[in-house]
Structure 1
Amino acid sequence: ARQAEVKRLFRPIEELKKDFAELNVVIETDMQIMVRLINKFNSSSSSLEEKIAALFDLEYYVHQMDNAQDLFSFGGLQVVINGLNSTEPLVKEYAAFVLGAAFSSNPRVQVEAIEGGALQKLLVILATEQPLATKKKVLFALCSLLRHFPYAQQQFLKLGGLQVLRSLVQEKGMEVLAVRVVTLLYDLVTEKMFAEEEAELTRETSPEKLQQYRQVHLLPGLQEQGWCAITASLLALPEHDAREKVLQTLGALLATCRDHYRQDAQLSRTLASLQAEYQALAALELQDGEEEGYFQELLGSINSFLQGLR
């Protein structure tokens, strides 16, 4: 009865296509649209504006997991990855934009991207002189590729990814990317920690993914590359949101960087200044009737960090 009701209410797609064909209206599937956009982007006769427009439209479609997987099934993913080699900064920027959307929470696409050389190309762009807008999108793609993909994280470390990010946050004019980099590092550190905790709780000692995480020697690499000092220095940023993210990362690195933090006089002064600032702001929140306000949470994070340093 249910099927009969559906058939009564809706017409078959083939019948609709026939009607539209008679009206000279063509219905394209997502796959057909993506093939057309890739062909437009890859055509030597397309102008720069047409290529960028094709990538912009393509990004909309690859947010959907199935579409992103279809993109590599017909070779479109590799075409976009190759776009990272372009001499045009805008092409690099929008190619990275598409890739970041396609990689997000999509393991099959992440694997294909690693095999297609995407990681190396992304790191090269971050390590060379490029416009800020390009590096923003490339960093977005890198974050999407690394998250929840321990094999990519291993390759990232082997390719000197931490050195590339260190140079990026210290590069003049790229300060706005520093918090994004620190947030990525926080995510990677806690991701591995949660994977190990979950394995311990479930008593699974040798699942493949856990073994991959155990080969990601991220904390030693961060310590060797001077990230204890870099992260501590970023706490002086003026934005509250930035400070919140830096505090999170400082906490995640505490066990590794405790000795450095204890000896860092500038960090001690910054923490004391922020503690006083957020005590005053938290008091104002309480006066306004906010018992669990934003600044009280930040003050709690500072106090917890100071407690952990003792």
Structure 2
Amino acid sequence: MAVPFIHHPAFDANFDPRHRFPMSKFSRLAEILVEDGVVGPAGYHVPAPALPGWLRLAHDPRYVDQVLFSAVPPAIEKAIGFSVDEKVAMRSRCATGGTVLAARLALAEGLACNTAGGSHHAGRDGGAGFSVFNDVAVAACVLLADGDASRILVVDCDVHQGDGTARIFAAEPRVFTLSIHAERNYPADKARSDLDVGLADGLGDEAYLSALSEALDAASARSRPDLVFYNAGVDPHRDDRLGRLALTDAGLAERDRRVVGYFRERGVAVAAVIGGGYSRDIEALARRHSILHRVANEFA
């Protein structure tokens, strides 16, 4: 059975190509997956925008309304890194809806992948670090509220710490947060995840994969999840503009293979999101993100 892949045209809010956030990568990623036959004939699953009630499970209702009505305070927009207009709000709702759909499809099929998501810097009171809504946090809250999952593990392999996710779930014992990140990278003010693995600058494939294996064993034993959210950020890559690590394409592929394989071998559902990745070369960046979906098809 084909692995379900999720995409919505609204994932791309059509930023100026000169913007620091490479928005067009989402459209190009979706095109590449079709061109290369990674997505099967049935095409993508298209998510509905996240409902306001879903968003309020993880975020302060006042902040949710500020986003929905294009009234985000300038200080929060500055922390996010771009203006939150109607198009950005819809993009954020659709990306979050995509992660909710990925989680539900993962529970049904074992594995599903979004072509967006991983906005892990958004906290309960507002966004930050190119993150408007914390899609993984919202999806986890929705599944817990609906009774579709009882114990959730977040495996965050973005190069930046998943600080927003950690803070949202700091007092929620049903959600275990694991963050494997470059210790000296953004954010300067780190949160406390249930398990943090801070890595030294310049770490390469072999050392990274060794640290990953140890972390997966520890997090799995402590959390005993029935669902895993996997943030497969490609910013640990050696060519990433905002990363500080030195993984290769092969290293990213093996990382994805180990995370997905670890939990699928144990019968645990995995919902994967693409996380961060930063480059002026959109073609190279989108192909880097496509590694996740290519690896996922190995588990079809």
How would you bin the TM-score normalised by the shorter chain?
under 0.3
Q: Which has the higher helix share?
A: 1
TM-score (norm 1): 0.26
Higher relative contact order (CA 8 A, sep 6+): 2
TM-score (norm 2): 0.26
Name which one, 1 or 2, has greater alpha-carbon Rg.
Answer: 1
